Amino acid sequence: MLTILLISFLGACLMPLLAYVIGRGAGLVIALFPFGLLAAFVSMAPFVERGWVKGEAAEWAPWLGLDFTLRLDGFSFLLCLLITGLGGLVVIYAGGYLTNKSPAERARFFCYILLFLSAMLGAVLAENLLVFLVFWEATSILSFLLIGFEGRSARARRAALMSLQVTAFGGLALLLAVVMIGHVLGTYSMAQAIDRAGELHASPWSTAIVICILIAGFTKSAQFPFHFWLPNAMQAPTPASAFLHSATMVKLGIYLLSRFEPVIGAESWGRGALITVACITMLVAALQALRAENFKSALAYSTVASLGILVLLVGLDGPAASVAMIGFLFAHALYKAALFFCAGSVLHATGLYSLRAMGGLARHLPLTALACAGASLSMAGIPPFIGFISKEFLFQAQLESSWEAIPLAIAVIVNAVMVGVAGVVTLRPFFMGHGKVNKVQHGETFSLVMPPLLLACAGLFMSLAPDWITRVAIRPAVASVYGRAVEVDLTVWHGLTPMLLLSFVVVSIGAVIVIFWRKIHVWLRQRTRFNTYEIESLWEASLRNLILSSRQLTELLQHGDLRRYLLAVVGGTGLLVAWSVAGAGVAPDIPLLGELRPGEALVALGGLGGAIVAARARTLLSAMIATGLTGFAIAITFLMNGAPDLALTQFTVEALLVVLLSALLLAVPLASPPTRTKAMRGRDALLAFGVGALLFLGMMDMAAREHVSIASDFFGRMSLTSAHGHNVVNVILVDFRAIDTLGETIVIAIAAVMARSLLRSRGSEGPVPGPEPVHFSLQMTGRWLSLLLLLASMVILFRGHNQPGGGFVGGLVAALSFALLALAYGVNHAQRVLRLRTLTLVGLGMLCVLLAGVPGLLTGEPFLTHLWWEPGGVMPALSTTLLFDLGVYLVVLGAVLAFHFGLQREATR
Amino acid sequence: MTETVLLTAPVILPFVAAALVLILRARLAVTRAIGLIANGALLVASLLLFFYANGGHLVPLAVFGGWPQGISISFSATMPGLMLVVVTALLALAASIYALVDVGPRRRRAGYDALMLAMTGAVNGAFLTDDLFNLYVWFELALIAALGLLTLDRRPAQIDGAIRYASFSMLAATFILLGVGMIYGITGTLDVGRAAATLASQPPTFASATAAALLLGGFALKAGLFPFHLWLPASYHTGPITAVAVFAGLLTKMGFYALLLIFAGMFGVGAGGIGATQLVPVFGWIAAATILICCAGALAHTDMRRMLAYHIVAQVGYMTIGLALATREGIAAAVFYMVHSIVVQANLFFGAGLIRRASGSWDLTRAGGMARTNPLFALVLAVPVLSLAGIPPLSGFWAKFIIIRESFDADMAWIGVVALIGGLLTIVSMSSFWSDACWKEPRGKPVRRVPLAGLIAMTILSGATLAIGLMPQGLWTLSLLSSRALASIAGGGG
Amino acid sequence: MTLLYGFVGAGIFACALYMILSRNLVRMLLGFSMLATGVNLLLFLAGRIESRQPPIIADSARALGEAADPITQAMILTAIVIGFALTVMLAVLVLRAWRHAHSIDSRNVDSAESLGTPQEREPADD
């Protein structure tokens, strides 16, 4: 079976290519493929008819509980025969039906149909529930693609989306059911799930499992209230409707429900739910079938009604119900497909949809009319057609079951309507109203006539000579549905039974409906209230509301006000911290006040004062000055607490920020009206204070505990002996944790790239045209000062390993030097002095930093292992750390200048 | 030697290429070639690393500078970072192919190649490092490179988007920095493994609870979790589509990876750690809110970029479920979801870019007609679309299935149901996306053919999605290994 | 001193947050610059304020004696530089925004948010 499935999928991908080669007759050739599959299945018949079950397994993802297990029993076998047999006929028919399409479109259609066929085979053969789910969803997707085959039409798209949304909803319900079954039983085997129905029933999940399975089955098999997608699905090309939406795919829900009947039946309300839903569905569908104007719609609603009957039969207990279910499923597949074929031929020939517009087609399409009549007789349950037998079984099952008379009454009415529909769809288009249609666009061809005729004949033949099919397919199928062998007697004449009486009643009412169809139809159509209460419009409205409320919700949250966004971030983080410490249930430790050094305290408080002034400042200039003050105060604090490197960096950064930000401040208005109301400011201050307070407590709790850093101790011990540097901070930066510095250097490099991209003038990076404003006051001292700064930067760079300094500070100071030059003599002059473009400088620096790590790599050590070379002990030691620091220096220099030059140019514009 | 070269290459290779691009930036053909070659070499190198690491018994480790492990910064080839490096390289290669059509001379002159290479290196660095502060540095580098890419065209919308992105991210960076500093202040180390020894085994103190919350806030913002997600739909849609596709694939996932490393690894959530148990329920609420709100956000939009931006965030919500479950399998499920999502999200943005290119509009009410003009494209696009919608047997189905299954097994069925509701909304959104883009007639201009390079890039990623979908066992095994590796950081290995 | 530095650091942090929540983009930018300062001071506490000796090995010694924690300093140094890069970059962005919107009120700088929203029925084609 695995091989068959594989061949089937492979063929589905390859065979349609023939449509390009062969052209119009392709259908007949491609049909050989499904018929071949059919033959392969038929060859397994001797196996199945003994009541054996054939299993096969392959490993897929066992760790996920996913084994590719297949199982062929009677029920699967019957469905496989239907799928492949009907599939072949559909392919033939499609070959004749799609004559006015391009080869590419035909090939696409064949591909979808064959893929669908393969997916169906997979679904009915699957034993593992996950595998079943995979194929189940595959059929939904292919149905979507086929309904939307005429994607240009908005109605087709709407129908396709609707069917996908409804069936995908069911698919998710099935997924949930499968997950729950796996959760309870620890296995995804379908057989296990059914065998251990008792265990499932005992678990707390049983109700949810059954509800989910019911939803899955009802959506796929178009049961109330999910029935509405099926009539819409008639937008698909007719061959697809015949195959998917009447004969096979919609039966998959029935298949699921009947497989899980033991699980559903274990719930006290399970069968009741099935029968209730089935009855409602049948009534609604019968009503709508009479209202339908369209040939295909009438058939679609009658299909929904038939599916309702099948669900009813699944719900009924007793062997007769199983027999009836299988019999009806089989008979329905045969006659409904035939009727769809006929509807398609009529559509193809006349281009007409409406039943009322058609008439007298028997003259133009005689063979189609014949086939239609045969299929309709079967549908109406007229002996000796197979539909009659199945209807007998249906009534027998109802009479034998323990249910009350209401379902029986409904079944009688619905069957009568179906007789009526069968009559109407045969008589009106073909045999009544002569002269309504005088000309047809396409005549009958072999491909169009053979499939419906064959099916109609099969309906007759199988009831007259039922031995083979009963033995091979029906009896094993019933046995596997019911759980043990049941005697099936598929003969036309059972004698005078209550069932025969009921059949007679049904046919009589049906005949009345046929006669008065037009009046009933018109009366029903005038009752527009039906339209408003259709589930379809409810579904559409809820979808619209969903999107509308989504919009409202999104507008509410994504309001576009940056302030409120940041409020959410700050507030959210504050809440997280509060929740975290509250949830941990711990109180903060506060360290002792200890010795208070007045000088340092004053500086620090000065920093805080600067911050408060900045926050309250009216103009941007005072805010910037106050911010700078805070920065300098903190730099001094660092200096006083044993961190000269930090102080140096902070000083330089603050100085550069003033230089760079002045370009921005020169452009924008310094004083603008407040952007927050007083209440907002109050709330912001409260929030900021709250978050600050939480942070303070957390920090104090941290600082109150003892601090042991193994790494710091190690660095302190090894810095001089192994890394040849006195300044531990610098050694950490260029050696112990050099990769951090590397990353940071690249951050600066990338910032430079960005500055270039954002500040570039429309042309390239060439010199600024025209005169530049220069500061003559700076020219007096500028040249010397900048030279001095440059020299200082070199010193800072070189001594960095042993004294405070290093590449960063060096680079920043060097940048200051060029910035000064640019301010004094203009950017062009500074660039000329620099010689290299800023970004080239950055690139070279990056390369230095990266290459500094490579020599170590070449000696077999990790990246960034530094090498030392002391030439004779006279010269200072050379090392790759110097290259590394030089790279940092260059990147920082280039990057800061990229910003500065860009901003200065921007300011002059 | 091999070990350290292989471990360093995914980070250093792109940086060297970026430096060369900067120096040679005047020659656009050369920089384009450098970008392509570097990304190809990156894929080879990361695959070599992957197989090297899986072949040996010891975890490959490189301590920069040759100092002792745990003292200096080390890179290690552990799951899930190792696997993510390979995925990153694959995505970067696909992006550089896609860029052949989407990134013209103007964008290259503005520094596209250097920015993209630096970002790739930064992402790889974050995936490989064992050091908290180093992680912070890589995040900053990725951020600044992303901002550069976002503003390549200097459009007003891009500048505005970048301001939003930058201001959010600077807050996040502050919180992360504070969190990292506090972890150092508490444990005296920046090495994730060493910090875990203190943090996972002891009940939280006031300081460690604060630090955990700060790290959660900061990285949740990077990952785009509710309520910190607002920056993402406000900025992503403005950038050049190649860059945005890479952001969509990598950046949020990088944030989520950090959450995994810190909470599943350092705090031992799901591995018996007790250091951050008070935050576990919060993960669940955040995940549920993110999924529902962002699926709704996707439904609300018809502009493809905005719609997909919301989907990015919603997907991170699903991953967070795995963390909220606090079980080994839950963490593994999160890893599985992460890999799936990287590939699919990027691919969807590629697709959106091609739809725009062919039909002239980003808006689904105007775009259309792709199936008739570009049938192959419609097929290739269907893979990520269906995968995101969770249709079997594609990667997204398994990802969702595992998440839901594990939430039932962890007795948190409610969150599994939330995931399903989100799944339904995603199906609604994705089906109309595909139907509108491929079937509907476009308004206005006739549809053009999509360029081949774009299609190739998409095919690479669609192929990866299909491969995960048809062989979920492989990725699931790696995910379980990842979960075990994360658990072993906190000493709960085995 | 720890208590005092903690107080000052948290205070600067809070003031900076207050500025960041302003709608004036330049004020926000200055807030971010100050936020970094506050955080750096707070981070300094992670290495504890115990010794005022710089972590520089004396010429006569072979190893570092009693000194301030060097790792914290290296960390803060890196953070200062990164913070500087981000601040300057944000400044450039704000300048660009000013150039096209002629406003530094964040409510007026909104062309990103209005791009491709369902509320604005002007589909984005570019």
**Cβ contacts of B300 on chain C, cutoff 8 Å:** 118
CA–CA separation, A751 and A759 (whole Å): 12
Residue to mutate among A235, A702, A879, with most B CBs inside 10 A, is A702
CA distance A37 to A18: 18
- List beta partners, residue A879: A868
Interchain CB distance below 8 Å, A895 and C85? yes
What CA–CA distance (Å, rounded) separates B91 from B56? 26
Taking an 8 Å cut-off on Cβ atoms, the answer to whether B63 and A63 are in contact is no
Are A622 and C26 a contacting pair, CB within 8 Å?
no
The DSSP 8-state label assigned to residue A64 in this structure reads: G
Taking a C-beta distance cutoff of 8 angstroms, is the pair B259, B108 a contact? no
* Residue to test with chain A: of C42, C92, C96, C104, most A Cβ within 10 A: C92
**Total Cβ atoms within 10 A of residue A613:** 17
| Statement: residue A147 has pLDDT above 50 | yes
**What span, in angstroms and rounded, lies between the C-alpha atoms of A365 and A735?**
91
Neighbours of B22 (CB within 10 A): 30
Closest CA to C83 of C6, C42, C29: C29
Token digits of residue A760: 């570039």
Q: Using the CB atoms, write b or e for A531-541: b if 16+ within 10 Å.
A: eeeeebeebee
Q: Is residue C57 part of a domain?
A: no
| Residue percentage of chain A with pLDDT more than 70 | 96
Nearest-CA residue of chain C relative to B140? C82
pLDDT confidence bin for A876, thresholds 50/70/90: low
Residues of chain A with Cβ-Cβ distance to B437 below 8 Å are none
More confident residue, A866 or A168: A168
B166 interaction partners in chain C (CB closer than 8 Å): 86, 89-90, 93
With beta carbons under 8 A apart, name residues in chain B contacting A134. 392-393, 397
Residue C62, min C-alpha distance to chain B (Å): 18
Q: Per-residue b/e over A310-335, b at no fewer than 16 CB within 10 Å?
A: bbbbbbbbbbbbbbbbbbbbbbbbbb
Q: What is the CATH number of the domain that holds C30?
A: 1.10.287.3510
Using a 10 angstrom Cβ sphere, with 0-12 exposed, 13-18 middle and 19 or more buried, the burial of residue C59 is: exposed
> Taking chain B, what is the end-to-end CA distance rounded to the nearest angstrom?
29
Chain B residues with CB-CB distance to A743 below 8 A: 122, 125, 134, 137-138, 140-141
Angle at B145 between CA B139 and CA B149, to 5 degrees: 140
Contacts of B231 in chain A (CB under 8 A): 565
What is the least distance, in Å, from the CA of C92 to any CA of chain A?
7
Distance between A216 CA and the closest CA of chain B, angstroms: 14
Q: Which tokens belong to B27?
A: 């020659």
Smallest CA–CA distance, residue C56 to chain B, in Å, is 19
Q: Could you tell me the residue range of the domain that residue B266 belongs to?
A: 2-490
CB contact, 8 Å: A890 with chain B?
Answer: no
Instruction: Verify whether the Cβ–Cβ distance C63 to A669 is below 8 Å.
Output: no
- Chains touching C (at least 3 CB pairs under 8 A) are A, B
Does some domain include residue C63? no
Rounded to the nearest angstrom, the minimum Cα separation between A378 and chain C is: 54
Task: Specify whether the CB–CB gap between A286 and A414 falls below 8 A.
Answer: yes
On chain B, the residues whose CB falls within 8 A of the CB of C21 are none
What's the structural domain count of chain B?
1
Asked if C92 has any chain B CB less than 8 Å from its own CB, the reply is: no
Asked if C22 lies within 8 A of A551 by C-beta distance, the reply is no
Reported confidence tier of residue A501, pLDDT bands at 50, 70, 90: confident
Write b or e for each residue in A51-71: b if 16 or more Cβ atoms lie within 10 A of its Cβ, otherwise e.
eebeebeeebbeebbbbbbbb
Per-residue pLDDT of A193-202, as tens digits, reads 998 988 889 9
Q: What is the dihedral of CA A528, A529, A533, A534, to 10 degrees?
A: -20
Task: Name the nearest CA neighbour of A51 among A80, A70, A72, A81.
Answer: A72
pLDDT tens per residue across span A617-627: 888 889 999 99
Chains contacting B (3+ CB pairs below 8 angstroms): A, C
Tell me if residue A205 falls in helix, strand or coil. Answer: coil
Quick: pLDDT tens for A411-462: 888 888 888 888 888 888 888 877 777 777 777 888 888 999 999 988 888 8
Number of domains, chain C: 1
Tracing tokens 């069917």 back to the chain, one arrives at A163
From the CA of B225, how many Å to the nearest CA of chain C? Answer: 19
pLDDT of residue A780: 67
Nearest to B392 among A134, A707, A750 (CB): A134
The helix/strand/coil state of A489 is: coil
Interface test with A, best of B21, B72, B103, B479 (most A CBs within 10 A): B72
Cα gap B257→B78, rounded to integer Å:
13
For position B494, what pLDDT does the model report? 38
First-to-last C-alpha distance (Å) of chain A: 77
Cβ-in-10-Å burial (0-12, 13-18, 19+) of A679 comes to exposed
Phi, psi of A642 (to 5 degrees): 80, 30
Q: What is the pTM of this model?
A: 0.94
Position C26 in a domain: yes
Assign B444 to helix, strand or coil. coil
Measured in angstroms, the CA of C24 and the nearest CA of chain B are apart by 12
Residue A498 three-state SS: helix
Q: Are strands B74-76 and A878-879 parallel, antiparallel or unpaired?
A: unpaired
Q: Given the cut 0.85, state whether the ipTM is greater than it.
A: yes
Query: Do the Cβ atoms of B45 and B13 come closer than 8 Å?
Result: yes
- In B151-279, where does DSSP find H-type helix? 156-187, 192-199, 206-223, 231-235, 241-246, 252-259
Calculate mean pLDDT across residues A84-107: 89
Measured in angstroms, the CA of A871 and the nearest CA of chain C are apart by: 21
CA distance A71 to A55: 4
Q: Which residues of C touch B301 (CB under 8 A)?
A: 116-118
Q: Assess if residue C58 is contained within a domain.
A: no
Identify the band that residue A115 occupies on the pLDDT scale cut at 50, 70 and 90.
Answer: very high
| pLDDT tens-digit series, residues A280-327 | 999 999 988 888 888 888 889 999 999 999 999 998 888 888 888 998
How far, in Å, CA of B254 to CA of A117, rounded?
42
Contact at CB, C97 and B140, closer than 8 angstroms = no
pLDDT in tens, A557-611: 888 888 999 999 999 999 999 999 998 888 888 887 777 888 888 999 999 999 9
> What are φ and ψ of residue A323, in 5° steps?
-60, -45
Cα separation, B483 vs B477, in Å, equals: 10
The shortest C-alpha distance from C106 to chain A (Å) reads 6
Closest CA to A711 of A700, A723, A719, A722: A719
pLDDT, one tens digit per residue, over A691-728 is: 999 999 999 999 888 888 888 888 888 888 887 888 88
Low-confidence ranges of chain C (pLDDT < 70): 118-126
A57 token code pair: 């397994």
The answer to whether residues A829 and A821 touch, using CB atoms and an 8 Å cutoff, is yes
Residue span of the structural domain in which C9 resides: 2-50+69-106
- Only one residue has tokens 């959760």, namely A183
C contacts of B361 (beta carbons < 8 Å): 123-125
Whole-angstrom Cα distance, residue A386 to residue A374? 11
Measured distance CA(B177)–CA(B217) in Å, rounded = 11
Query: What's phi and psi for A56, nearest 5 deg?
Result: -145, 150
Q: Does B30 touch chain A (CB under 8 A)?
A: no
pLDDT-derived band at A909 (thresholds 50, 70, 90) equals: low
Indicate yes or no: CB of B160 within 8 angstroms of CB of C86. no
Residues 6+ apart with CB under 8 A from A245: A143, A230, A233, A234, A236, A300, A303
The token pair at B66 is 């040759």
* Chain B residues within an 8 Å CB radius of C124: 303, 361-363
Q: Does B476 contact A557 at a Cβ distance shorter than 8 Å?
A: no
pLDDT at A763: 47
Above 70 in pLDDT, residue A29?
yes
Q: Check CB contact of B133 with chain A, cutoff 8 Å.
A: yes
Strand, coil or helix: B129: strand
For chain C, the distance separating the N- and C-terminal CA atoms, rounded to the nearest angstrom, is 58
* C-alpha gyration radius of chain A: 42
Question: What SS3 class is residue A513?
Answer: helix
Which pLDDT score is estimated for C105?
86
Q: Are A666 and A906 in contact (CB under 8 A)?
A: no
Residue B74 parent element (H or E): strand B74-76
Interface size between B and C, measured as CB pairs under 8 A: 127
Listed residue (A716, A578, A704) closest to C45, CA to CA: A704
Nearest to A382 by CA among A431, A423, A432: A423
Stretch A499-523: mean pLDDT: 87
- With contacts defined as CB-CB under 8 Å, which chain C residues touch A902? 92
* Cβ of residue B443 closer than 8 Å to a chain A Cβ: no
Chains in contact with A, where contact requires at least 3 CB pairs less than 8 Å apart: B, C
Show pLDDT as tens, one digit a residue, over chain B (494 residues).
678 888 888 999 999 999 999 999 888 889 999 999 999 999 999 999 998 888 776 778 888 888 888 888 989 888 889 999 999 999 999 999 999 998 888 888 888 999 999 999 999 999 999 999 999 999 999 999 999 999 998 888 899 999 999 999 999 999 999 999 999 999 989 999 889 988 888 888 999 999 999 999 999 999 999 889 999 998 998 989 999 999 999 999 999 999 999 999 999 888 888 888 899 999 999 999 999 999 999 999 988 999 999 999 999 999 999 999 999 999 999 999 999 999 999 999 999 999 998 988 888 888 888 888 888 999 999 999 999 999 888 999 999 999 999 999 998 999 999 999 999 999 999 999 999 999 988 887 788 889 999 999 999 999 999 999 999 999 999 999 999 999 988 875 43
* Residue C114 belongs to a domain: no
Distance CA A253, CA A213 (A): 9
